[in-house]
């Protein structure tokens, strides 16, 4: 029996040095994977957070435009209401030219509101030949919203033309002007309602986006508490240690088989 031969065979199966090297290499790889995973999550989180913030900013601007438009249209309705009342009480004016002058004053105020209603120097409820944008557009990463920009001065201009070309002493002409004012008021109300619907869509989308922001924040907080990088590192180390254990067990079986064969 060659004891030295047995010792030599056993020594050739001892991989302690190589296992230590593999363990160090594996540890470095695990750390690298952990860092990469953490960095990837942070980058994705930051990208999503910035995207949601920009969406909320755009939606807030759209909501602001809607409120400004509705406020101005409400004031315009008041001037049309004044005109309507004056026409209904036309008999109280002995000189119908005085009535026309009073109506014209209301119509000028109506148009002044239209052209002064702006957002970032852009008209909201008035357009002209040189206006390139005929609609109000609010764009986000997930959805686009649009409403046609109204030209409310046309209502006042049409009433002005009809009123000044009519004989308000004539009941038929008076009724035509009154009817025109009533129709314009209804059209203006429709414009108001369109802005209301537009604003409701924006507000709903804004609420959903803010909810997504809160969910993202909570998810990020949970991941921080869990220490994502450490969990990934520990999980990988466990796998490496398990593999080392399997290798040691296999080595023991091989040594045993060699010993039995040499001793037999």
Contact 214, 92 (CB under 8 A): no
Q: 162-185 burial, b if ≥16 CB within 10 A, otherwise e?
A: ebeebebeeeebbeebbebbeebb
- How many angstroms separate the CA atoms of 29 and 33, rounded? 6
Distance CA 124, CA 236 (A): 59
How do the domains of the chain map onto residue ranges?
6-259
Highest mean predicted confidence (pLDDT) among 54-58, 82-86, 131-135? 82-86
Whole-prediction pTM value?
0.70
Q: How far is CA 206 from the centre of its chain?
A: 6
pLDDT for residue 166 is more than 80: yes
Q: Does pLDDT of 111 surpass 70? A: yes
Residue 260 banded pLDDT, cuts 50, 70, 90 = very low
Residue 237 pLDDT level (bands cut at 50, 70, 90):
low
Q: How far apart are CA 219 and CA 165, in angstroms?
A: 69
- What CATH class is the domain 6-259? mainly alpha
Across the range 220-241, mean pLDDT stands at: 57
Amino acid 128: pLDDT: 81
DSSP string, the chain: --HHHHHHHHHHT--HHHHHHHHHHHHHHHHHHHHHHHHHHHHHHHHHHHHHHHHHHHHHHHHHHHHHHHHHHHHHHHHHHHHHHHHHTGGG-SSHHHHHHHHHHHHHHHHHHHHH-EETTEESS---TT----EEEEE-SS-EEEEEPP-THHHHHHHHHHHHTS-TTSHHHHHHHHHHHHHHHHHHHHHHHHHHHHHHHHHHHHHHHHHHHHHHHHHHHHHHHHTHHHHHHHHHHHHHHHHHHHHHHHHHHHHHHHHHHHH-
Mean pLDDT over the full length of the chain: 80
Residue 145, strand partner residues: 138
Q: Work out the number of other CB atoms within 10 angstroms of the CB of residue 61.
A: 14
Share of the chain above pLDDT 70, in %: 69
pLDDT band at residue 247 using 50, 70 and 90 as cut-offs = very low
> At residue 33, does pLDDT exceed 90?
no
């Amino acid at each position: 029996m060659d004891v030295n031969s047995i010792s030599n065979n056993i020594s050739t199966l001892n991989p302690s040095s190589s296992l230590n090297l593999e363990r160090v290499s594996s540890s470095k790889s695990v750390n690298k994977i952990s860092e990469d995973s953490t960095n990837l999550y942070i980058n994705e989180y930051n990208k999503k957070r910035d995207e949601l913030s920009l969406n909320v900013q755009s939606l807030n601007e759209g909501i602001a435009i809607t409120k400004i438009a509705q406020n101005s249209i409400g004031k315009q309705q008041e001037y049309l209401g004044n005109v309507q009342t004056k026409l209904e009480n036309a008999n109280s004016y002995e000189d119908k030219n005085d009535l026309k002058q009073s109506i014209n004053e209301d119509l000028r105020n109506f148009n002044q509101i239209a052209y002064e209603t702006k957002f970032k120097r852009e008209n909201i409820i008035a357009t002209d030949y040189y206006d390139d944008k005929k609609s109000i557009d609010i764009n986000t990463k997930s959805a686009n919203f649009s409403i046609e920009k109204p030209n409310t001065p046309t209502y006042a201009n049409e009433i002005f033309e009809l009123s000044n070309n009519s004989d308000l002493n004539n009941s038929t002409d008076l009724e035509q002007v009154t009817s025109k004012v009533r129709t314009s008021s209804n059209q203006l109300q429709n414009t108001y309602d369109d802005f209301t619907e537009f604003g409701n869509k924006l507000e709903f989308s804004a609420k959903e986006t803010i909810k997504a922001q809160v969910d993202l924040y909570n998810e990020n907080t949970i991941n921080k508490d869990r220490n994502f990088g450490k969990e990934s590192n520990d999980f990988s180390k466990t796998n490496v240690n398990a593999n080392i254990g399997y290798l040691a067990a296999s080595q023991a079986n091989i040594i045993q088989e060699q010993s039995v064969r040499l001793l037999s």
